[in-house]
Each structure stands twice: as structure tokens, then as C-alpha cells.
Amino acid sequence: MLPLISLSVPVYGTESTLPALLDSILEQQPLPANAAGRGALPIEILIVNDGSPGGSSLPKILKPYKKKFKSLGVPLILLQHRKNQGLFEARRTAALAAQGEWVCCIDSDDTLPPDALLNFYEGLLASGSGNLDNAADIVHGKMAVTLHGSDKIAPEAYQRFEQKAKIVRLIFNGHLSGDEILDNFLIKKGHNGFLCAKLFRTSILRSVYEKLPHTYCINAENLLLYFFILLEKPSYYGIDKVVYNYSQDSGITSANHITSLERWEKVCSTSSVFTLIFSYIDEHPFPEHSAPALIRELRAICNTYLATNLGQLKHLVTPSLQVAAYAMLCDYWGEDYVKQIEILKA
């Protein structure tokens, strides 16, 4: 039998944390006997090596886990990118390879609580009134958020973490469908757009990826994929159960200095997300009654990302690269737009 859920796990520089995630999957509570006729853990695990510098160590890391998962009837599959293509493309690779009816996106430095799969399965059943054939296209569960080393970070960094933690906890309990999902996400801020802690029907993910060109993106890839998923007008069901452990101990909580233009270019690539979104809207306008509010919110999000890039330029890019980095930022976002946001930030 094919799996019910495919776990999509991109890896780039997170080889050291991957075992903790795999251990958490091994510790999952079994589903009810013969759930959907697929066994106690009706899943497959897709590890995508996205050209990670330490990717050569993955076969050795995965070897003992393959034996453990095989005994449970769970395939553990390693997919390879020769070069780093970014999170958006790593998730594309997993979506195209997935055999499950739903895909669960997991970051390789996070873990799952022991009842995550059981909660997801029960959510699928509840969304379809007890019938998986009628289950929702998106099932959204809660995140438990943990900050490691909170006593060692600056107050402003902790405040940023608290803001992000508040967002990742946003969930709408119950059913949404059609245009009301996009409205609840963008306008009402009723649930978050993070890919993790959600199940997505595999056929919808593939439909979205078929329509989108290959795009290098490591920031805002959640927004890009979720926005286009919602344009498919799926069904959504939120559950009041924790399905994901989000762990934060780097990134927004630490000052990772940027010492090369290659790395800075990855930061600037965020602009490609909004190029794709606004180009699509130009060609496929929103309905007149909803267009002004939706576009206003998208532009506000876009402004926030560019403002963040400007802050990273000021605080994280090494002084000797500041001039070249600013020019690159203007190339990606447009000089006039960069100057406009600079004035707003002043």
C-alpha cells in the first residue's frame, strides 16, 4: 500500500540536528489498527540533500535509521541536489517524489511531538466527517515553540522571537474553503502561512509547482508556496492539537555576519518571491471587491521584507562589502523601491 503521508525534510547544513528529528518520528504513537488499511505508521520519509556542504555525511547518518524504519514498514529515502537550489526547490523535489496523498513539510532542525501523526490522522478524519475520501486539502495543527539559550540573547532579539512565536501559533479552528482561506490568512490574520505544522494534498502541491518556474529562494518560500496553494481554492481544516515542535536557537536570535557577496545574494533573492506574486496578479487580477485589501496586505509584507534586508545590510554585512552589497540589493529590488523604503525607515 502507498503511504498516507509523505514527510518532506530538506537538509542544508543541518546534518547534526537530523538525528533528533528522526528519533522523534520513531517515537510516534501508532495509528489505529489498519488505519486506512496502511499500517501503524503509514508514512514515508523523504530527505532532500539540497547541495549541503556536509551532505556527504548523510548516507552514514541515515544508515542505522533505514534499518529501524524498515522494520516498521516505513521507507526512508535520500534525494540529492548536486548544487544548492534553495528551500523552494528542495520542497519541489520532495513533492514530485512523494507517494503519499498528503505531504507534511518539516525543517530538519525541528522535531515532532509523539502524537503528531495521530493528531494529523484524526484531523483528516474529522475534516471529512470520518471519511478520508472527503478529508480537507490542508490540515493545520498547532506548533509548540521553544527558544534555546534565551538568557544569552539581547532583549531586541528576544522581542523578535516573541513576535515570530505569536505568528506561528496562529491557527483557525475548523473549516475554511475557497476564497475565505486567502482572506483569513492575509486580511484577517486568522492563521499563519508557515508550511510546517500543515498537511497539504500532494496533487495540489504538484499543481502549484507545475505553474511556477524554478526559483532560488531561502527566505519567504513559505509565503510563495502558500499563496499559490491558496489560489487553487483548497479546503482547510484547523485542529486544536500540537503537531510540531518549532525550535529556535539561531537565525533571528543571533547576529550571523555576512562576509561574502555570494551569501548576501541569497538574502537578496527574497525579491524573486514578490516578483512572481505581483507578476501573477498583473496577469490574473483579483476580483474587484477584494483586490484593494489583498494587494495592500501583500505590498505591506513586501515592504517588511525589503526593510529587513536593509537592516541586515546595515548590521550584518561586513563593512568592506557595504557598497557592493547595497548595489546588489538595488539590482534585485529596484533602486527606486529601495530608496522609498529607506525614507520610510528613516
**311 exposed, middle or buried (CB, 10 Å; 0-12, 13-18, 19+)?**
exposed
Please check whether residue 341 is in contact with residue 330, taking contact to mean a CB–CB distance below 8 angstroms.
no
Instruction: Look at residues 28, 13, 54, 225 and name the one whose alpha carbon lies nearest to residue 111.
Output: 28
Please list the rounded mean pLDDT of every run of 10 residues in the chain (346 residues): 94 96 96 72 96 96 97 96 95 98 96 97 96 96 82 68 83 96 96 97 98 91 97 97 84 63 93 96 94 96 95 93 97 97 89
Q: What count of other Cβ atoms lies within 10 Å of the Cβ of residue 105?
A: 26
Instruction: Name beta bridge partners: 43.
Output: 5
Q: What count of other Cβ atoms lies within 10 Å of the Cβ of residue 326?
A: 17
pLDDT at residue number 162 = 78
Instruction: Look at residues 81, 79, 77 and name the one whose alpha carbon lies nearest to residue 51.
Output: 81
* Cα of 21 vs its chain's centroid, Å: 16
Q: What gap in Å lies between CA 106 and CA 98, rounded to an integer?
A: 14
Instruction: Name beta bridge partners: 45.
Output: 7, 76
Please check whether residue 79 is in contact with residue 9, taking contact to mean a CB–CB distance below 8 angstroms.
no
pLDDT at residue number 159 = 73
Q: What gap in Å lies between CA 197 and CA 227, rounded to an integer?
A: 16
C-alpha cell at 302: 513586501
**Three-class DSSP category at 293:** helix
Helix axes 87-97, 202-211, angle to 10 degrees: 130
Q: What gap in Å lies between CA 187 and CA 178, rounded to an integer?
A: 15
Helix axes 291-315, 271-283, angle to 10 degrees: 160
Amino acid at 139: V
